[in-house]
Amino acid sequence: MPRPYEVVYIFDSSLEDAAIADKLTRLHAMLGEHGTPPADLKVDLWGRRQLAYTIGPRETGYYVVARFGAEPPTLPEFERALRLDEGVVRYMISIHEHEVGAPPMSDDDLVATRRRDDDDDDEE
The CATH homologous superfamily for domain 3-123 is Ribosomal protein S6/Translation elongation factor EF1B (3.30.70.60)
How far apart CA 37 and CA 18 sit, in angstroms, is 18
pLDDT digits (tens, 9 = 90+) for 55-108: 999 999 999 999 999 888 999 999 999 999 999 999 999 988 766 555 666 778
Domain extents for the chain? 3-123
Strand order in the sheet with 88-95: 42-55, 58-70, 3-12, 88-95
Distant-in-sequence, close-in-space partners of 38: CB < 8 Å, separation ≥ 6: 2, 28, 31, 32, 68, 69, 70
pLDDT digits (tens, 9 = 90+) for 18-43: 999 999 999 999 998 877 888 889 99
